[in-house]
Structure 1
Amino acid sequence: MRKKLRAKICLLAGALLCVAPQSWAAAPSARAHDEAMADPAYQVLVFSKTAGFRHSSIDDGIAALRDLGAANNFTVTATEDAQAFAAGNLAQYEAIVFLSTTGDVMNGTQQAAMEQYIEEGGGYVGVHAAADTEYEWPFYEGLAGALFHSHPAVQQATVEVEDRAHDATAHLGRTWQRTDEWYNYRTDPRATAHVLASLDESSYSGGNMNGDHPIAWCKDYAGGRAFYTGGGHTDESYADPAFRRHLLGGIRWAAGMTEADCRPETGYRPLFDGTGTSGWKQAGPGGFTLADGTLTSHGGLGMYWYQAEELTGDYSLKLDWKVSGDDNSGVLVGFPASDDPWSAVDNGYEIQIDATDTPDRTTGSVYGFQSADTAARDAALNPPGEWNTYEIRVTGERLELFLNGRKINDFTNTDPARSLKQGHIGIQNHGDGDEAAFRDIRVKQSGGGTPGQRSGAVKGVNGKCLDVDGAQTADGTEIQLWTCNNTSAQTWTTTGTGTGALKALGKCLDVSGGATADGTRIQLWTCNNTAAQTWTPQPDGTLRNPRSGKCLDASGGTWNDGTPVHLWTCHTGPNQKWTLP
C-alpha cells in the first residue's frame, strides 16, 4: 500500500488532536491553510501528452497547478513524456493529474505501471479531455469513470453541486454558473462513482444525457482513488478562483490529504437540503442558524429534530458535518416524538461528535454504549475545519456507522426499552461554545424510500388524534380517538401525495376482512398492499377507502378518549374530517 502522509502524521500526533485547516482562501495567490496547519509535503505528477486535439489551456493549467502546489505544500512535476510511467518513478507521487490528455498516449508497459500505481493506493485526477484518452484501455475507462462522446459550443451553464462536503466542492454554493466546453459522455458514471456536481441541461444547449449529466465525480478504484472534473477547456478556467479551488480539492483527496465518502449514492431523498427547514422543530434551548445551506448550532442543550416523519423499518441516513475545534454535538436516532431533548438521549441513541472524551463518548461512538473502532475512525476522520460525512445504516436493531465511507462502528440494540426499528432523527446543539455545522441530511429507506412521505399525527374531531390502542402491535389492535400525546401510537406515515397506506408502529391501517358494510371495524394489521389498506384523502377533508367507497369515521355522536373508528358512508360530518401530517 502507498503511504498516506497526512494520515501517518495525524496518527503519530493523535488523530483527534491533529491540527488541520479551518478555513480555505479562494484566491489563487492566498495560502489554503496556515503555515502550521499545512498538509505534509508531497509530490504530484502532471501529465499532458496529446495524440489528438491539443487544448491551448494546457499551459495555463500547468501554471495554475504549480501555483496551487506552491501555496499548498505539494511539488508539481509536469511532463509529456510517457516514459515517466515506470513503476520505480511513479512511486514518489501521491497523485497523477491527466491534464487534458487526448488519444492513445501510453504503451502497454506504461499502462501496466499506471495500473500497478493505482492498485498500490495511488491517486488519479482527470481534467477535462482526460475523458478523451485511451479508449482501448478498459482499466483507464474505469479509472476515469466515463469517456467523451461529444460537446456543443463553449457556453455558460448551471452546475448543480450535489455534494458540498467533498473538498473539491465544499466551497461552492448549491449552484455554480460557469462558462466552459461541456462534454457529453458515452456512459453515465453515477452507477460506479459518487457524483459531486452535474449539469442542468435546461440551462444550455447541446446536452444529450437525458437530464442526468454528471460533470465531476470521485470513486475508489482498484485500490486507489480517482477524481474527475469535466471543466477546464478554456484558458480562463485556470484564473478562476473557484475552479482552482475545485482542482485543489480533487488533488488533495486523490493524494490522501483529506477524506470523503466517494461511494456511489442513489435513491436518497432530502430531509434537509439547505433551502428551508420545513418539517424541523427545535426542542430545548438554543438552536440552529440557517445560512449558505448550512445549519450551525448555538447554545443548548437542545436538539433540532425532524418531526414531520418517523423513520420505520430499515434505512440509511446520511449527513455532512463540520466542527471548528473541540466541539460537542451528535446525531440522534430512534427516539419517540418529543419536545424534550433529553427524551431523545434517554429513549434513542446518539452518534457522537466530540474530539476529546472517553472512548464511548468520542466521535463515532454510540454515546455511552459503544466506542468506535478508533483506528478506523482516526484513518477516516477529517480534522476541525473540514467536512465529514456520516452514514448511519439501520437494519432491524443493528446500527452500522460509516465515516467518510469507512465503517467505524457496528452496534446492536439489546435494550427492550429502546428500538432502532422506528423513531425520529435529530441533530444536537450541545451548548455555548460548542459549534457544529450540518449540511445535506438525506435518507434512503428499504426499497429506496418513498418521495413525499410524511409522518406525524392524524387529527380528527374535537382535535383528538388517531391512536393505536395501548400502542400494541398485534394484528387486530383497535384504532381509536385519543388526546394527542406525540407518542409512536399516534405517529402515522403517509405518502402525502394521494392514494396509499397509512402506517403506524410498522403496520397498516386496515379495514377488517376487507368488508364494505357500515360499521366495519378499523384495525392495525400487517401491511399486505391490499385494497383494505388503501386510503385516499379527499378535498373535503375525508379519508376514503376506494374499495368500499366509504370513509374513515369516528363512531357515535360524541367523541371522547377511546372512541373507536370504523367504516361508514361518507357524509362529510366533523367526525369524518381528518388532518394528515
Structure 2
Amino acid sequence: MLRRLTLTAAALITAAATAIPAVPAEAAAFKVLVFSKTAGFRHDSIPAGVQAIRDLGAANDFAVDATEDAGAFTASNLAQYKAVVFLSTTGDVLDAAQQAAFQSYVDGGGGYAGVHAAADTEYDWPYYGQLVGAWFASHPSIQQANVKTEDAAHPATSGLPATWTRTDEWYNYRTNPRPNVHVLQSLDESSYSGGTMGDHPITWCHPQASGRAFYTGLGHTAESYAEPNFRSLLLGGIRYAAGAVQADCAPPSGGPGGGTIEAESYTSQSGVQPASHGTASGGTTVGFIDNGDWVGYASVGTAGATGFTARVSSAGAGGTIQVRSGSPTGTLLGSVAVPVTGGWDTFTTVSTTLTGSASGPLYLVFTGGSGSLFDVDTFSLTTSATTTVEGEAYTSQSGVQPADHAGASGGRTVGYINNGDWAAYSGVSTSGLKSFGARVSSAGSGGTIQVRSGSATGTLLGSVNVPVTGSWDTFRTVSGTLTGSASGPLYLVFTGSGGNYLFDLDSFTVTR
C-alpha cells in the first residue's frame, strides 16, 4: 500500500499562499454523480440545480459529474462515486440491468440523494419506492408555505430555521413515509392550500442496507438553487448520502414498519380488495383474500427484520401469511398461520420470528384452501436497527489518514494505523449498541479494534480482533458483541504490537 508523504513546511506555506478556485476531481475528497434524465415532465430548474451542486462541490471538496445518460449506471462506473443525486428525474429512466447495478451500488454502501421530482420516478420498480421513501401523488399551485424543522442536528437541517417560510411546489405523496424513514422536515398544511396528508413529511433520510438515502421534496423552482438555506439543505443531504458526515437516520423504533401499519395501505397487490369492518383499525382491512393472492409495500423495507405480527380475522378457511422480500416470489423470511376466528369482525393477533435475510421491500403472500381465507387488519415488523458507516468519515482522529483502495467501499479506508491511534464519530451514539462489525484488511501485523464511548479512554463496550488478510486490498469482515453500557459518541481505538501499519478499516456496522 502506498503511503502519503508529509508536506514540507515550505510546501505548506506555498499551498497556503496560493488561491485555488476549484478542487479538481483527482484532488477532491470524493465524487458524486448528478443524474437528471426525464421520461415525463421536465423541470426547467434542472440546469440551475446542476450548477448549484457543482458550486457546492467546488466550495466543499467534492467533485461533480453530471449526466442524463442512463448508460452511466454500470457497476464499474458507479464504483467511483460516493453518492448519486437524482435531480428532478421523472418517469422510467433505468432499464433492468441499470436498475440492478444501482441497487447493488446502494446496498453495497453507496449513497442516494433524491431532489423534488425524484419521487416522480420509477413507479414500476418497488426497490426504488423503498429507496426514495414515498412516490409523488399530486401538488397544488406554487405558493408560500411553512416548513418545520424536526431534526436540528442532521447536517442537512442544522442551522435552518425552526419554521422556514418559503415558496415552492409542495408535493403530496401516495403514502406517508414517516414509519419507514427519519423525518427531517415537514409541512404545516395550515399554512397553505392543497395539502392532503395531514402529517406531511417533506425531507427525510434512512439507511438502505449498507448504503444511505436522503430525499427532499423542495427544489421545483430555479430560484430555490440560489437560496442559501436550500443550498445548505442540499449540501448536508449530499454529504450524508456520500458518507462524508454521519447522522442518525434510523426510522422510528419498532423497525421498518415504525410500529403498526394499516394493511390496506399496500402499494401493489394481486387479487385482494379493501374490506370495510367497523371493528377494524381505521374501519378497513385487506379482504377478499384467496389462495395465492398477495400485497406489496414499496416503502416498507425488510432489512434487519426479525419479527412479524398481524391482526387478523376469519370466518373462512384460515390459512398462512408468508413474509417475503423483494417480490411475491422473493426471499421467504418466515410465515405465520392464521386461525379461523369465527367471524370477519372477530380479530386475533398472530406473530412469528423472521429468520431469512434480505433488504428488499415487504411482500405478504396468502395461502390456504378454497374460498375466502381471512382478512388482515394491521401488521408490524420488528427489526434490529443497523447503521453502516464509512470508516474514513471520522469527525476527529489521532494518527490515522484516509488511504485509497479500489476494492474498498467508496474507494477509501482508514489507513496508516499504528498502535494507540483512534478515530471518533460524533454522529454515532453508543446508546443501546449490541454488536459491532467491521470490514478490514491487513498486510501488516493485524491487531484489535476497541469500541469505546465518549472518548478514546472512555467506557470500553467491546473489541474485535483483526487478522492478517495477506494484502491491503484483501478484505474480510470481523464482528463481536458489545456488552458495556454508555451513551456518548463512538470512538474506535486501534491497538497492536507489530510496529507500523497494523491494518486498514474500510467500513463498520453497529446494531442496536
Higher strand share: 2
When normalised by structure 2's length, the TM-score is: 0.48
Greater C-alpha Rg: 1
